[in-house]
Amino acid sequence: MRRSIRVFLILALLCASPDAWAQSQPHHEPAGMPQPSPPTAGDPAFVASMAQAMDRMHAAMAAAPRTGQPDRDFLAAMIPHHQGAIDMAKAVLLATGDPRIRNLAQSIITEQQYEIELMKRLLAEGPAATSSTREKGP
């Protein structure tokens, strides 16, 4: 759960407008820390890569088949969502030299690829015996 929240916050930050992103950054860093410039509207390759990644992700999520089965519908929509995170992480790897961001982006790629494979396996297996029944509250 904690990892999912972290990924969501990172994606929200990456999807924010460059101006909003820049305003949210601290103005003072410890002395001696490298201060690479964050990607901005002045980096057209990064902006285009992010826009393409988000457009592909949103289109694929919208096109995911709806079966009425929550488990399957969730997995079908989350696969392109995770692929979008991978594509955005690859875009930032091409645009930043900040080792913290590079490490985070590589971690996102690794984790999201694993989760995509898991979701594909779960879809291929079909529904679990208990997935169609939920315990009802009082």
Is pLDDT at 25 greater than 50 in this prediction? no
- Looking at residue 5, its pLDDT comes to 55
Quote the CA–CA distance of 98 and 92 in Å, as a whole number: 10
Taking the domains of the chain in order of start, what are their residue ranges? 2-11+41-125
Flag whether the pTM goes above 0.85. no
Q: Which of 50, 28, 32 has its CA nearest to residue 94? A: 50
- Residue of higher predicted confidence among 42 and 36: 42
Burial of 15 (0-12, 13-18, 19+ CB in 10 A): middle
Whether 92 contacts 39, CB under 8 Å: yes
- Token duo for residue 17: 């407008």
Is pLDDT at 110 greater than 70 in this prediction? yes
